[in-house]
A and B are shown apart, each in its own frame.
Chain A
């Protein structure tokens, strides 16, 4: 019993030590661009102040996006987007909380490009869906990791209502391009 306790204590200690050694990478100015393509109109919006953090030890990967920071070519479109479609006053942020599924296969200390699968909860407009998407991590140096992914979401999955009168101009599936440059967090 004594031995067992000691072993367990050691494991616990190890776990605790491990978690304090976690490597965190963060950014406050990641890019997210989305595209809506229809025969009538192509719409593009850019957000250059995306918050993201990655824990290379546990594979945890999170995003927080301020919806009002999406910039459109037409100011009126931006106003409609916030006021009518994603209702930014009510739902100011979109978040993603998930994991890099294959983080054990990626050597975050060794420069190179790695395929990654990310799985987790994406919340937009107050609606959460589980998504699983692929992308790449590019380890640039000991301080910098670049994350890239392109995927699509369905507008209706997030309960975003598009009025009939503009439905020809707004696609049902929106392409989302994520581009973040994460910097190692200094302790």
Chain B
């Protein structure tokens, strides 16, 4: 009898365990297989401030960027601290698939047209495949369309062109902090004197820190590796904020660079922060969904 009671208790335990585990079993049936989790929203938009971030417009999305850099703050009250003057750039960027983006722009500074392709080589991910950073390649061309200063000399069209190549490497460390390092080369077909190098090397560092869902603080700095022989130029330093309002991202910043294209702000930044040569500027980013995802095509 004692043995019987024992065996009964054992059975009871086993059966309860069975019932218990059946609830757990059912949850096990809905477990996901391990998957690749890509980091998203490393930056709010395709610009850290002046330079490109690793972010590209989503597939089938057109991004319109209106950028202004006003005059220098140290111009004083007469020029309303620079607000009476503005350098502008209008740009369009378009995402093709998960990795490719193309873009064009026109800046009032030196009447410069620019065009680029950007390709995402690696994507930061966790889970099934771990990749510590996102890496993108940027190649652009810039065309100065100002009238020739000396129309009488033999001016070549190629002299108007500048090429930019950049490797963008960024990591989203957590939901707030993202940092990016961007080795860059700017090749100018025409330089000021024969002593000046055609290739300007620089390393950009930039990042963002998210304060709230709608608000991030951004900064970027370009350290030039080689310096030109002529002209007094400075390294470009910019600080700013991103304000995210659903369809728009407003970027407000202070920078010592007047131009908003690469060859301009990397190799021809004339402002000195120490002298108050600071430009207030903004980018307004607006996206348009041109291509709807499969699921929404019928509606």
Contacts and interface: CB of A to CB of B under 8 A. Distances in A.
Given A74-B289, A163-B214, A64 B247 contact: no
A160 B202 CA distance: 43
Interface residues on B, range: 35 or more
A83 B292 CA distance: 21
Given A12-B8, A12-B11, A16-B18, A76 B29 contact: no
Contacts of B41: 79, 82-83
A64 B11 contact: no
Interface string A46-63: 101001110100101011
B26 A24 contact: yes
Given A1-B1, A89-B175, A62 B27 contact: yes
Interface in A12-67: 12-13, 15-16, 19-20, 22, 24, 26, 44, 46, 48, 51-53, 55, 58, 60, 62-64, 66
A163 B15 CA distance: 51
A74 B99 CA distance: 18
Given A26-B30, A51-B32, A63-B30, A75 B289 contact: yes
Interface residues of A, number: 52
Main SS class of interface, B:
mixed
Nearest to A85: B213
Contacts of A72: 293
A75 B32 contact: no
A46 B298 CA distance: 13
Interface in A82-105: 82-84, 87, 89-90, 92-93, 95, 97
Contacts of B175: 83, 87, 89-90
8 contacts: A2-B1, A5-B5, A53-B27, A71-B296, A75-B61, A97-B27, A163-B213, A166-B245
